[in-house]
Structure 1
């Protein structure tokens, strides 16, 4: 509560709260006093302009750009989203139909847009794997056994090949467009 009196800076304890991650007595503070009772540039408690008040703890500022997925993150996101979508479609409609197909297209689009540039190939690869996993886990199986599972998976892939190829082609086209655009940017520099 007496943060301003401890540090001897005018305006330092203005809020009445001393946060546990703030600078301690005797430590150098990022925001400097401008001589008018406030910190320079409207920065308070180490908060940088446009950043989070705790940004110095994390070591970097947040920008407006979205967080990119790694190759492993792309595979996990594809599998979780596709299996969840297949489960919802099976609960609502009793099988994997149009909702599953349209949802797969949306998932492939999002994967291709959000994957890191270094891991571009992960988007068109992880989509079909997630599609097959969803069919394997939630597709209709008429009898038990490994052979029945393989036949059900092959049948499910064959009957839904249109959705599978469209989603994979969409992801591949977006990834190719991103790759070409990035190469042009680097070449123009």
Structure 2
């Protein structure tokens, strides 16, 4: 901010008798501020006084709507992730049916086969969560610097939550394909059916 005499500023800007913004600081209750604002508006209908609380309320409304939109986008992304992971894991199980049948024929039980596929999925989920955290931080930092003129602080708790959520989503999406894997009959698969 720069503070200067109104007459000097109007002369510098070559705009006599024009004011676009006046900021007044006073200590008063909300009723007193509202009353003063009404008196100013009554004196000149072209003046639109607003208190900081009014501005803060309108900004809070916009922020609330923006948070709702972000929550909706997050829910859609999680749903799409569930579908993609489930589809990919189903393809992996189908592709490895002979391997599963051979392991079962050699004595592996359903618990170990299911654990293997679920473990693979969770490891991939953790790697995806780590990569997503790093890429998300880089993107948020870029937006923060270019739009708001300041960087974003890294939050370890959000990073850990992101990785845990990634593993949980991947594990949940893999449950149906893992169930399919443990139901593979070795005799049927090894015969080539």
- What TM-score, normalized by structure 2, do the two folds share? 0.34
Give the number of the structure with larger relative contact order, counting CA–CA contacts within 8 Å between residues 6 or more apart: 2
- What TM-score, normalized by structure 1, do the two folds share? 0.35
